[in-house]
């Protein structure tokens, strides 16, 4: 496989109305010479880099803030990383967890689009030992 080839995950946020089936059909309809496979989180596409990027650019338009993407190291259907042959792929639980987080990211993107001011939320700090000691004395009395 040449270096010009790219494999990409198209991941649709769980709260998006767009379904993996929709994404797959949409990419097919672009009639680009790339391979498309529907997955539980969206789709996986593979082909010449510029064509894959073009498909990504188009598919993002369906729901810009809720369709995300990253590349994949292994080619599509590679036996070395096939779930049936090698059990769950080690990176899969991570994808599952990041997928769950996408609605929050979409919210962040919308907020950034609106140009909202970034406010640093207050981070909790550990209670100073002196104060804890005081409380211990109070409570134990």
Residues that bind other proteins (CB under 8 A): 1, 3, 7, 9, 11, 68-75, 78, 80-81, 83, 86-99, 101-102, 104-105, 107-109, 111-112, 116, 118-121, 123
Q: Which is nearer to other proteins, 11 or 34 (CB)?
A: 11
One-character DSSP codes across the chain: --TTEEEEEEEE-TT-S--HHHHHHHHHHTT-S-EEEE-SSEEEEEEEHHHHHHHHHHHHTTSTTTEEEEE-SSPTT-GGG-HHHHSS-TTHHHHHHHHHHHHHHHHHHHHHHTTPPP--PPPP-PPPHHHHHHHHHHHH-
| Closest approach of other proteins to the CB of residue 110, in Å | 9
Shortest Cβ distance from residue 126 to other proteins (Å)? 15
Cβ at position 136, least distance to other proteins in Å: 27
């Amino acid at each position: 496989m040449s270096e010009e080839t790219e494999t990409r995950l198209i991941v649709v946020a769980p709260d998006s109305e767009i379904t993996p089936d929709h994404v797959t059909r949409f990419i097919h309809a672009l009639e680009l010479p790339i391979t498309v496979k529907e997955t539980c989180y969206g789709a996986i596409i593979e082909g010449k880099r510029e064509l894959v990027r073009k498909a990504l650019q188009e598919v993002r338009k369906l729901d810009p803030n809720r369709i995300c993407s990253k590349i994949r190291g292994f080619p599509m259907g590679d036996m070395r990383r096939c779930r049936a042959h090698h059990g769950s792929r080690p990176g899969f639980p991570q994808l599952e967890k990041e997928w769950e987080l996408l609605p929050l990211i979409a919210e962040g993107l919308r907020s950034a689009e609106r140009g909202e001011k970034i406010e640093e939320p207050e981070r909790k700090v550990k209670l100073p030992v002196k104060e804890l000691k005081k409380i211990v004395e109070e409570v134990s009395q």
